[in-house]
Amino acid sequence: MIAANPQRTSVRSKKYDLLVFDWDGTLIDSAAAIVACLKAACRDLELTEPTDDSARHVIGLGLDEALLYLWPGLLPESGRALVERYRRHFFSRDHDIALFPEVLDGIKALHEDGFLLAVATGKSRRGLDRSLEATGLAPYFHGTRCADESFSKPHPGMLLDLMGALGAQPGRTLMIGDTTHDLKMAENAQVASLAVSYGAHPEHGLLAYSALGCMRDFAEVSAWLRENA
């Protein structure tokens, strides 16, 4: 969902016009639930469970790409059944998954300061819309893009789609995310990135990329953006 050419509300000079956030593990504390639901779906179908590290690694990818990474030889019918079981488990508990501390106030403040705000996520459109409404963040984003309506990360497609619809240039766009998939997508789109280390991927992996910084919580993200964006 993308709203074209929204009205800017601030005249203060900024380095970036468009801030694009990942969702799971960046704004919402869902990584542990995603891992648990993947494992539960495997148990339902008597498939080998992934390790916690492997399951966390695929967070941020589209479900099809995640399944291909975790089970390269999985038959299509088994893949469809696994997706159905995973979604059933996740939707049964997603109402209990909370935003990270200070995210709601931080996103509101960025919106009020006149930034264009967007989400690029490996979630499905159905899943993101449910989560946006449940968390109260829906009114603050000018555009969103999901893996089931574009290419999966780290392909640059979601960022290119958002920049095109919102009239932003790569040099004035910043991607904020918790996975190497986010950072690689930003590189592929020739967009600057900011990493967060409190989500799905460990800090040492994030530091291998050319992010402008690696933040330990969302309060640090907000402070960095106030000073640098």
Tens digit of each residue's pLDDT (9 = 90 or more) over 113-136 = 999 999 999 999 999 999 999 999
Single out the catalytic residue among 22, 94, 178, 182: 22
| Annotated catalytic residue 161 | no
Of the three residues 69, 95, 121, the one that is the final residue of a domain is 95
Structural domain that includes position 49: 31-95
Of the three residues 95, 112, 132, the one that is the final residue of a domain is 95
Q: Does 179 share its domain with 102?
A: yes
Q: What is d(CA 28, CA 131) in angstroms, rounded to the nearest whole number? A: 9
pTM, rounded to two decimals: 0.92
Asked if residues 172 and 18 have their Cβ atoms less than 8 Å apart, the reply is: yes
Q: What is the pLDDT of residue 12?
A: 53
Asked if residues 25 and 182 have their Cβ atoms less than 8 Å apart, the reply is: no
Q: Does 123 share its domain with 167?
A: yes
| Annotated catalytic residue 29 | no
Q: What is the pLDDT of residue 76?
A: 87
Q: Does 62 share its domain with 144?
A: no
For the chain, give the mean pLDDT. Answer: 93
Tens digit of each residue's pLDDT (9 = 90 or more) over 38-87 = 999 999 999 999 999 999 999 999 988 998 899 998 888 889 999 999 99
Q: Which helix (H) or strand (E) holds 192?
A: strand 192-196
Cα→Cα distances 18→40, 143, 144, 176, 206, Å: 37, 10, 12, 11, 22
Single out the catalytic residue among 17, 24, 161, 182: 24
